[in-house]
Chain A
């Protein structure tokens, strides 16, 4: 973590909470948690509410699909922490790991629904080029995604286009697989609130 305040500048109450989490999970608190717990009124509290709605709110996309979108966007933004964190949640939510690894390796050949593939393709263009146009949206609709599904995917995009940038700029520490497994269990059970 490039800013010391994000690593060790939390209130005493937050530090106690970190110690409790570490004791229960056997893992050190990850930097994503430290970020949202630092001066939470400024960013963490309002952003957690947004991300929870995007990732766990009502949607025709499954939780697994939305976590896959998060991992996919993170890959294009070259955010190692977020790829591993949300790849792990998506794998757990799908009940297997092959879908996530196949999509991250090659979106065009992965065995997924065409509506999901087209949505990920559009999200990928938005991430790489910072813009999409009406033709891009027509292609997603033609592949079978509804307007509401596209809007839901863009909500996921808003959350992770933000989070990836912060993880990269502040240089989140990337822990080992056990930490991401513990994080995935927590995020599936409790969400982002």
Chain B
């Protein structure tokens, strides 16, 4: 069985807790798809739930507020990872509920 537990924890920890150009509070808000000031909130929500509808205007609106490209890069990454993580955890919980397994104590060993 492929084992992404450590790798998933590592990438999430890195983007949320490591150094960056954006603040940790902003990155956490993007990851959680939380209520954020506009125009950041619109872009982050689109990345999370309707990424194919993101436009150049959404990005330009953030640039116009003085946000750097590095900050935008970091926050979009956080929004994408956050939604993927929510979906993964929801699905694993559903799987555990019917198979008596646990991601933290897998029945098979490698």
Contact status A47-B11, CB under 8 Å: yes
Is A136 part of the contact surface with B, judged by Cβ < 8 Å? yes
Main secondary structure of the interface of B (DSSP, over half): helix
Contact status B11-A138, CB under 8 Å: no
Which of A46, A141, A171 meets B56, CB within 8 Å? A171
Contact status A2-B56, CB under 8 Å: yes
Contacts of B18 in A (CB 8 A): 41-42
Contact status B86-A151, CB under 8 Å: no
Residues in B1-60 with C-beta less than 8 Å from chain A? 1-4, 7-8, 10-11, 14-15, 18, 20, 43, 46-49, 51-52, 54, 56, 59
| Complex: A148 Cα to B56 Cα, angstroms | 40
Main secondary structure of the interface of A (DSSP, over half): helix
Of residues B54, B84, B86, B95, which shows the largest number of chain A Cβ atoms within 10 Å of its Cβ?
Answer: B95
Q: How far is the CB of A115 from chain B (nearest CB, A)?
A: 15
Contacts of A59 in B (CB 8 A): 1-2
Number of residues from B at the complex interface, CB < 8 A: 52
Which of B70, B74, B76 meets A170, CB within 8 Å? B76
Contact status B52-A126, CB under 8 Å: no
Contact status B8-A158, CB under 8 Å: yes
| Complex: A6 Cα to B59 Cα, angstroms | 14
| Complex: A78 Cα to B15 Cα, angstroms | 25
Contact status A132-B4, CB under 8 Å: no
Contact A157/B81 with A57-B3, A170-B76 known, Cβ cut-off 8 Å: no
Contact status B94-A164, CB under 8 Å: no
Of residues A133, A137, A155, A158, which shows the largest number of chain B Cβ atoms within 10 Å of its Cβ?
Answer: A158
Q: Name B's A-contacting residues (CB within 8 A).
A: 1-4, 7-8, 10-11, 14-15, 18, 20, 43, 46-49, 51-52, 54, 56, 59, 69-70, 72-74, 76-77, 79-81, 83-88, 90-92, 94-95, 97-99, 101, 103, 106-108, 110
4 closest A-B pairs (Cβ-Cβ)?
A57-B2, A165-B80, A50-B7, A78-B52
Jot down 5 A-B pairs with beta carbons below 8 A, ordered by A.
A77-B52, A127-B87, A151-B101, A165-B48, A165-B84
Q: Name A's B-contacting residues (CB within 8 A).
A: 2-6, 9, 38-39, 41-43, 46-47, 49-50, 53-54, 57-60, 77-79, 122, 126-127, 130-134, 136-138, 141, 147-148, 150-152, 154-155, 157-159, 161-166, 168-171
